[in-house]
Amino acid sequence: MNVNNQLGHSHTNNYLLKERLLMKLVKKWAAGQHMQDALIAAKSCNIKGQKAILNYLGEDNTEEERINRTTKEYCNLLERMHADQIDGCISVKPSQLGLCISYDLCRKNLKSIINGAIKFGVFVWIDMESSKHTDDTLMLYLESFTRYPEIGVVLQSALRRSASDLLHLMEVGAKVRLVKGAYNENEQIAFVHHEEIKANYIKLLGMLFGRNYMNNKGVDNALKFAVATHDSKLIEYAIKLSKTAKIGIKNFEFEFLKGIRDGLKRDLVEEGFRVAEYIPYGDEWLPYSVRRLRERKRNLFLLARSLVQS
């Protein structure tokens, strides 16, 4: 072996070591590289009385091979979740299913996944990505929802349009996960100050809890919407609203990212609330985590805080 090769090897070893170290850190956020890692994390979630939301990492996919592999992965995952009796659902990103290539390609792949979800009786969330995909994502959702009611879509309180989107979605009985929004957006279309994003979240929460769900009240435990935030003030406000709302405690859920606010998750379960944990996995964990951290300084704060607490 020549010196260059040896240097090459030590460089690779260093890289692998760093990657392994980083993976150890990020394991708070992501389950691991393989489906099996995600299923183990989901099981441990279920043991704690929480539901699991499994997401195969990846976004902005433009290679057809990768897009097909992602679609197959979700189809296999649904089968495994059923076989392993996981109490949970999946959450998919349209841009990982081909939306960056064409709407039709994404719709075709989403349809295959929904076929699997129907077969195995699993709920499907459609994540919301940056504002360039909002219209397409809502359209994909509305098309899919007419086929399969056990499907939900995400709205971001950071976007100025979200109140009107929510009104429309509520009219058709859609299921919505409310988040603040993980993407940096332009001030013309988005609230950029944290207090404004929070105020809009409160307004949207009021709309969700104020909606009349009387048709299903007490009849089933079907999910109507999700409150996905780690923000104590917003969670307290949602709890307050839930006390006077016309929906049952099991008709909405609190959703958290894996590894964050584990104590609060436990407390909410003990109080009888429905709690779900979002568990990402897959070989894209490194770019995913780096992007998440780069996108918003608050995400770095979130990771640091949960690491210190653990």
In the complex with ligand FAD, the residue whose CB is nearer, 77 or 89, is 89
Q: Report the nearest approach of ligand FAD to the CB of residue 128 (Å).
A: 4
Q: Which of 107, 175, 180, 211 binds ligand FAD (CB under 6 A)?
A: 180
**Nearest one of 68, 155, 83, 154 to 113, comparing CA atoms:** 68
Q: Which of 127, 165, 253, 284 binds ligand FAD (CB under 6 A)?
A: 127
Contact flag: residue 179 with ligand FAD (CB under 6 A):
yes
Contact 32, 38 (CB under 8 A): yes
Contact flag: residue 58 with ligand FAD (CB under 6 A):
no
Q: Which residues contact 185 (CB under 8 A, 6 or more apart)?
A: 130, 131, 158, 159, 192
Contact 113, 124 (CB under 8 A): yes
Q: Report the nearest approach of ligand FAD to the CB of residue 275 (Å).
A: 10
Q: Dihedrals φ, ψ of 246, to 5°?
A: -90, 15
| Structure tokens belonging to residue 186 | 């332009």
Residue 237's identity, in one-letter code, is Y
| Structure tokens belonging to residue 106 | 């994404």
Is 177 among the residues known to form the active site?
Answer: yes
Q: Report the nearest approach of ligand FAD to the CB of residue 265 (Å).
A: 11
Q: Which of 30, 78, 128, 275 binds ligand FAD (CB under 6 A)?
A: 128
Strand pairing report for 51-56 and 274-281: parallel
Choices 94-102, 105-113, 134-142, 302-310; region in contact with ligand FAD by CB under 6 A: 302-310
Choices 111-119, 142-150, 166-174, 177-185; region in contact with ligand FAD by CB under 6 A: 177-185
Contact 212, 246 (CB under 8 A): yes
Contact flag: residue 302 with ligand FAD (CB under 6 A):
yes
Binding mask 251-270 for ligand FAD (x = CB under 6 A): ----xxx--xx---------
Binding mask 131-170 for ligand FAD (x = CB under 6 A): -----------------------x-x--------------
Among 107, 165, 177, 292, the active-site one is 177
Choices 43-51, 58-66, 69-77, 178-186; region in contact with ligand FAD by CB under 6 A: 178-186
Q: Report the nearest approach of ligand FAD to the CB of residue 148 (Å).
A: 19
281 strand-pairing partners: 56
| Structure tokens belonging to residue 17 | 């070591």
Q: Tell me which DSSP letter residue 283 carries.
A: T
Binding site for ligand FAD (CB under 6 A): 127-128, 154, 156, 179-183, 228-232, 255-257, 260-261, 278, 298, 302, 305-306, 309
Active-site positions read 127, 177
